[in-house]
Amino acid sequence: MGFSSALQSRAAHEALIVRQDAELRLMETMKRSIQMKAKCDKEYAISLTAVAQQGLKIDRADEMQGSLISKSWRSYMDELDHQAKQFKFNAEQLEVVCDKLTHLSQDKRKARKAYQEEHAKIAARLNHLTDEVVRKKSEYQKHLEGYKALRTRFEENYIKAPSRSGRKLDDVRDKYQKACRKLHLTHNEYVLSITEAIEVEKDFRNVLLPGLLEHQQSVQESFILLWRNILQEAAQYGDLTADKYKEIQKRIDTVIGSINPTEEYGEFTEKYKTSPTTPLLFQFDETLIQDIPGKLQSSTLTVDNLTVDWLRNRLQELEGAVRDCQEKQMKMIEHVNGGSPVANGSIISNGSNTSNGIQSNKDSLCRQSKDLNALRCQEKQKQKLVDMIKCALNEVGCEELPSGCDDDLTLEQNFIENGYNNEQQRSNSTSSPGLGIMNELMRRGGVLTLLRGRGRHFKRKSTPQPATPMTRSRQGRFNKLQPRSQSLGSLSISLSTNRPLYEEEWFHGVLPREEVVRLLNNDGDFLVRETIRNEESQIVLSVCWNGHKHFIVQTTGEGNFRFEGPPFASIQELIMHQYHSELPVTVKSGAILRRPVCRERWELSNDDVVLLERIGRGNFGDVYKAKLKSTKLDVAVKTCRMTLPDEQKRKFLQEGRILKQYDHPNIVKLIGICVQKQPIMIVMELVLGGSLLTYLRKNSNGLTTRQQMGMCRDAAAGMRYLESKNCIHRDLAARNCLVDLEHSVKISDFGMSREEEEYIVSDGMKQIPVKWTAPEALNFGKYTSLCDVWSYGILMWEIFSKGDTPYSGMTNSRARERIDTGYRMPTPKSTPEEMYRLMLQCWAADAESRPHFDEIYNVVDALILRLDNSH
């Protein structure tokens, strides 16, 4: 049992200080006692010398010459004198022992002070970082409030501005972007401070504090060893030859000899033994980013155009700090190997080769090892931050840098809302041939619109390059190129048709990057898409090649397009050149274009959808009634707000990705998604009855039991189909079901759905519908189709209660507590007994005891059949 594992707590540290003070007081007591013994022995020696001298004053007359008794007496007196001299010598040696004890006491005081300072030093760093984390969090909250205020002000001014332009709007936008930059930088500082604090705290518990305590234990035991030696010397100089003193001395030797330094602190350690210190938990406060749409993720560095320069500079600073630590370690190792440490403060006895100093070679090496450990910890801590920043920078992608501000508002929205004239836009774009890629697209008939209200063009990531015009002979050679063994499909364009980019089958519009990655599966698969970031529209080539790489199409000063090779007059020609030449897009990436991935049949054009009227509002944007131009079919359209970050857009499209593969009369049908331009839209069949919840409440007086049971059967049929497809809905409720004019129910709103047999929530339980969610999902984050069965039971209750709120009058937490204790809602009025019994089965605490949807459907269908026959 040692100090390093048993004495890490604050109480144990304070007890150790108290113990050292007690030992110092004991030393002072011993020193005074030995000084008194030396004084007594000196006085006794003087008295014994006087006795001997007195005894030698005998008559030296010749009368006694040869007398044996006189000779014996003289010899006896001489021995007494020798004994007096021995007592005097012993007293002088006891004074030397007192000096040694004095020096030992001084060294022990220094050792105690050094231990306290070292302990305070390593604890101060941890306390400093703890305060730093709190300070960074406070800064975070301050910038967050400023950001929210400026963001609200920006949105208000943007909506009020009729032309989305003007000096006031520019000022508001600039202030908003500055606040956004401050927020993101503060976010990164907060993340780094937490990461550093975690490493420092871990090293404090596992390396620095144990190392200090281990060193202190070695020092303490060294003192005990020296202390024992001093006591042995004091005892040695009190040893007498008489039998009775031999017995006393034997007992003293036995007691003193029983002192064992390694066992000295056994009882003390056992008495103050504590468990290792509890780790301090440094966690990112997720409430800071709870209301912020965007890319700020807890404990994750944000890399974007606002923070990348700061991160790179921080990386250089940290790498320099790591090198400094490494250099200091090398110097320390060279010093240790190059010569023996100097023992400072050693105590040399007069005329003796024995040193009572505690700074022995072993102690010096122990101290140097402790310092080396501290440097290694610092290096590891800084290296952790270096690795974290490098990893974040590496994850940006091949060429494309994310935007740090969620100000994605462009005139594409104005184009839809205000009906901009395409011909006017086209003439504007052709008036200046060097405006960049978006002007080129509009010149060729594209639908993308630029924001010009601020009186300046979009910023461009361009590489100046002399233009290389396409001559007639080159165009002829280009037209003669034949596709390779793989079919190029829509890449076989005609240069004379001047077809706009958005008509190419391999152009996927503003499809989010995450969705693009799903389409590119084999090396050489590629497509072209558009991304809009901070008033800048960029065309991006996405390629599957040793992962997924994204290349921004660069524009030259003359309005041509290129990667690293020659420029071309159009993006189509640039892509055709890369495909036919089989040259890498960039030398660094090595990516070669082999097979274009064309738009899927359910990727519709935004222009094919005419929005008619707003009929609702969803989590991501408004819901419209619309009409398809091609078929004149009335449809429902969910729109995604353009200001949402890519992560939210990805979640928005998840519903479309799930629905596209399902075909069932009780599942709302997907017609397609529109990603050619903003806003992104999901087009679904129009269910005229609207939300089931609203329908139940509006028609509560006219619903029959037969109709309610039919609704339950429809919902069970749809859920049975989903269960067969291993799809967990996770948000089954009346509000997320639709009903047509014939009371047929369709399952809708798949935004939380997962296509898995079992899904474990890993990102927290935010926005979870508590009153509709099964206990095992709430308590353990574990979802299966049997969790949907629980929710189906709540849906049945909603249907038979005609739209009442479950667990009425209870908060979410209160309802959760009651459910865990076995509470179940009572049956709604006029509910058939068999249907309520089915509800209770759906609400079984043990998930495995609940019926599956196939069984539920059969039960409800049989009850309806029996009801029909009875009439």
Residue 259 annotated as binding site:
no
Q: Which of 41, 731, 749, 788 is catalytic?
A: 731
- 631 alpha-carbon distance from chain centroid: 49
Contact 524/595 with Cβ under 8 angstroms?
yes
State the amino acid at position 633 in one-letter form.
L
Contact 208/4 with Cβ under 8 angstroms?
no
Looking at the structure, do residues 116 and 13 belong to the same domain, yes or no?
A: yes
In this structure, how many other beta carbons lie within 10 angstroms of the beta carbon of residue 206?
14
- Whether 408 is a known active-site residue: answer no
Please identify, among 654, 685, 716, the residue that sits at the C-terminal boundary of a domain: 685
Does residue 344 form part of some domain? no
pLDDT digits (tens, 9 = 90+) for 587-627: 889 999 999 998 877 788 888 899 999 988 877 889 999 99
DSSP 522-571: STTEEEEEEEEETTEEEEEEEEESSSEEEEEPEE-TTS-EESSS--BSSH
Looking at the structure, do residues 569 and 609 belong to the same domain, yes or no?
A: no
Does residue 351 form part of some domain? no
Tally of structural domains, the chain: 4
**CATH code of the domain in which 167 resides:** 1.20.1270.60
Looking at the structure, do residues 500 and 609 belong to the same domain, yes or no?
A: no
Question: Counting beta carbons within 10 angstroms of the beta carbon of residue 146, is it exposed (0 to 12), middle (13 to 18) or buried (19 or more)?
Answer: middle
pLDDT score recorded for residue 618: 76
Residue 615 annotated as binding site:
yes
pLDDT score recorded for residue 750: 79
Does residue 638 form part of some domain? yes
pLDDT score recorded for residue 413: 33
Residue 621 annotated as binding site:
yes
Contact 671/628 with Cβ under 8 angstroms?
yes
Sheet holding 622-628, edge to edge: 603-604, 670-674, 681-685, 634-639, 622-628, 609-617
Does residue 400 form part of some domain? no
Contact 786/847 with Cβ under 8 angstroms?
yes
pLDDT score recorded for residue 136: 92
3-state SS string for 186-255:
HHHHHHHHHHHHHHHHHHHHHHHHHHHHHHHHHHHHHHHHHHHHHHHHHHHCCCCCCHHHHHHHHHHHHH
pLDDT score recorded for residue 351: 42
Looking at the structure, do residues 676 and 707 belong to the same domain, yes or no?
A: no
Looking at the structure, do residues 571 and 640 belong to the same domain, yes or no?
A: no
What's the sign of the alpha-carbon dihedral 103, 105, 107, 109?
negative
Q: Residue ranges of the chain with pLDDT lower than 70?
A: 1, 59-67, 70, 161-165, 241-245, 247-249, 251, 255, 293-295, 305, 337-362, 394-498, 532-536, 755-767
CA distances from 197 to 37, 193, 203, 384 (A): 57, 6, 10, 11
Looking at the structure, do residues 524 and 568 belong to the same domain, yes or no?
A: yes
Which tokens hold the place of 402? 């994310």
Looking at the structure, do residues 640 and 760 belong to the same domain, yes or no?
A: no
Does residue 253 form part of some domain? yes
Residue 418 annotated as binding site:
no
> Which residues have a Cβ under 8 Å from the Cβ of 342 and sit 6 or more positions away?
364
State the amino acid at position 4 in one-letter form.
S
Contact 383/322 with Cβ under 8 angstroms?
yes
Looking at the structure, do residues 671 and 698 belong to the same domain, yes or no?
A: no
Does residue 68 form part of some domain? yes
Please identify, among 636, 668, 685, the residue that sits at the C-terminal boundary of a domain: 685
How many helices and strands (H and E) does the chain possess? 24, 16
Please identify, among 685, 703, 724, the residue that sits at the C-terminal boundary of a domain: 685
Residue 622 annotated as binding site:
yes
Looking at the structure, do residues 592 and 608 belong to the same domain, yes or no?
A: no
Does residue 308 form part of some domain? no
pLDDT score recorded for residue 624: 92
Distance spanning both ends of the chain, measured CA to CA? 85
Does residue 315 form part of some domain? no
pLDDT score recorded for residue 130: 92
Residue 620 annotated as binding site:
yes
**CATH code of the domain in which 628 resides:** 3.30.200.20
**CATH code of the domain in which 537 resides:** 3.30.505.10
pLDDT score recorded for residue 73: 76
Range of the domain at 632: 603-685
Looking at the structure, do residues 119 and 10 belong to the same domain, yes or no?
A: yes
Residue 618 annotated as binding site:
yes
Looking at the structure, do residues 86 and 208 belong to the same domain, yes or no?
A: yes
Q: How many alpha carbons fall within 13 Å on the CB side of residue 589?
A: 25
pLDDT score recorded for residue 64: 62
Q: What is the Cα–Cα distance from 798 to 423, expressed in whole angstroms? A: 54
pLDDT digits (tens, 9 = 90+) for 350-399: 444 444 444 466 677 777 788 888 888 898 988 999 888 887 776 654 45
DSSP 153-191: HHHHHHHH-TTS-SHHHHHHHHHHHHHHHHHHHHHHHHH
pLDDT score recorded for residue 267: 75
Looking at the structure, do residues 711 and 575 belong to the same domain, yes or no?
A: no
Which tokens hold the place of 680? 């992104």
